[in-house]
Amino acid sequence: MALPYQRIIVKIGSNVLTQENGLPDQARIQHLVDQIAALKKVGKEVIVVSSGAVAAGRSLVQVSDKADAVSNRQLLAAVGQVKLLATYAALFGQHELVCAQVLVTKEDFRDRQHYLNMQNCFQALLQNNIIPVVNENDVISVTELMFTDNDELAGLVASMLDADALLILSNVDGIYDGDPKAPGAQLIPVIEPGTTSFSSFVTTQRSQFGRGGMITKCHMAHKVAQLGIAVHIANGKTENILPRILSENVVSTRFVANRTASRKKKWLAHAEPAAKGAVQLNAGAKAALTTPGKAVSLLPVGVLGIVGTFQKGDIIKLLDEAGKTIGLGVAEYGADKALERLGLQHQKPLVHYDYLFLSTAIS
């Protein structure tokens, strides 16, 4: 029986789209487009998060080894993104489908209003049966503006759009309990929500052409699954990989979805880089907030101290007594008023439950 996913994010990694010589694999791109078109024909909504701009640029121009690596990447991405989107447009056009380019940076997800504007754009594209093709804007994304890799970007898009599933296509079959190349390493078919540590068995080795690795995939997939979105990691070079994932007829790893969350909480789940300050909680407040099945706001009586400065509407971190981040929230008032009300009872919540996301520790 096919998995009942309706809105699907398909993330295609650099190693799937790229040949060993670093140039684009046209046959592979064609095959993936054919599969996506088949999903569209049965009524699925598909959003593509695609790497490959740098590889496409490498097929058109040569860069000097003496030039700065960041500048070379920007140049190749600027040239290659045009070719990559043109390739997708031509191939989807063979199926009488239209695609649209969506280029983003990490900064685009930090402002709530900007986030909502971007969300509205995606919704308009989907309502008009247009396939969004999303990529990081490598032309302007440098240092702190860069995503860890497109897995992080795919997770953000999946959360933003309330996707049913995120399918991550890599160049391996899934998550292993050790180095996939080592004798005896076993693939893990299912990872439950209660799994809290990956570093003990997941290799930190990065992919040949991408920026990330399996450890970053695991952390991102676990976070997205906690937000009620199933995540599958599979080999994008396997024949007919997309329909085979949906029919559960292929070797892969599935992160089981844990719970649903509001759109506000899904935005907050990925908003830690935008935090302006922090509040430190006492043990009682931490226990109250983390009690399963309870909807609790953060009150000033449970706050031990204020770290940094913030204004009403800013995102703030919630720290336990040891200084460890346990969640994120939107401040109902600024740091000055929070200091005045520190430890006092019968005060307005500093963070309302509707704007509070509690994270699960992952090591």
Closest by Cα among 158, 162, 73, 153 to 106: 153
Q: Is 286 annotated as a binding residue?
A: no
pLDDT for the residue 105: 83
pLDDT for the residue 258: 75
pLDDT for the residue 8: 98
pLDDT for the residue 209: 38
Q: Is 11 annotated as a binding residue?
A: yes
Alpha-carbon gap, residue 224 to 245, rounded angstroms = 18
- Residue 249's contacts (CB-CB under 8 Å, 6 or more residues apart) are none
pLDDT for the residue 320: 93
Query: Is residue 319 a contact partner of residue 285, using CB atoms and an 8 Å limit?
Result: no
Ramachandran assignment for 123, one of left (phi > 0), alpha (psi -120 to 50 degrees), beta (any other): alpha
pLDDT for the residue 362: 38
Closest by Cα among 35, 363, 358 to 167: 35
Q: Is 138 annotated as a binding residue?
A: yes
pLDDT for the residue 207: 46
Domains 7-262 and 275-358 in one fold: no
The highest-level CATH class for domain 7-262 is: alpha beta
Per-residue pLDDT of the chain in tens (363 residues, 90 and over written 9): 689 999 999 999 989 999 888 888 999 999 999 999 999 999 999 999 998 888 888 888 888 777 677 788 888 888 989 999 999 999 999 999 999 999 988 878 777 778 888 999 999 999 999 999 999 887 776 655 566 678 889 998 998 898 999 999 999 899 888 777 778 888 999 998 766 666 555 655 544 434 446 777 888 888 888 888 999 999 999 999 999 999 999 999 999 987 655 666 777 777 777 889 999 999 999 999 988 667 789 999 999 999 999 999 999 999 999 999 999 999 999 999 999 999 999 999 999 988 898 875 333
Q: Is 50 annotated as a binding residue?
A: no
Alpha-carbon gap, residue 224 to 156, rounded angstroms = 8
pLDDT for the residue 141: 62
Q: What CATH architecture applies to the domain 275-358?
A: Roll (2.30)
Give the chain's end-to-end CA distance (angstroms, integer): 35
pLDDT for the residue 199: 57
Extents of the domains making up the chain: 7-262, 275-358
Q: Between the CA atoms of 173, 232, 21 and 31, what dihedral angle is there, to the nearest 10 degrees?
A: 100
pTM: 0.75
pLDDT for the residue 197: 60
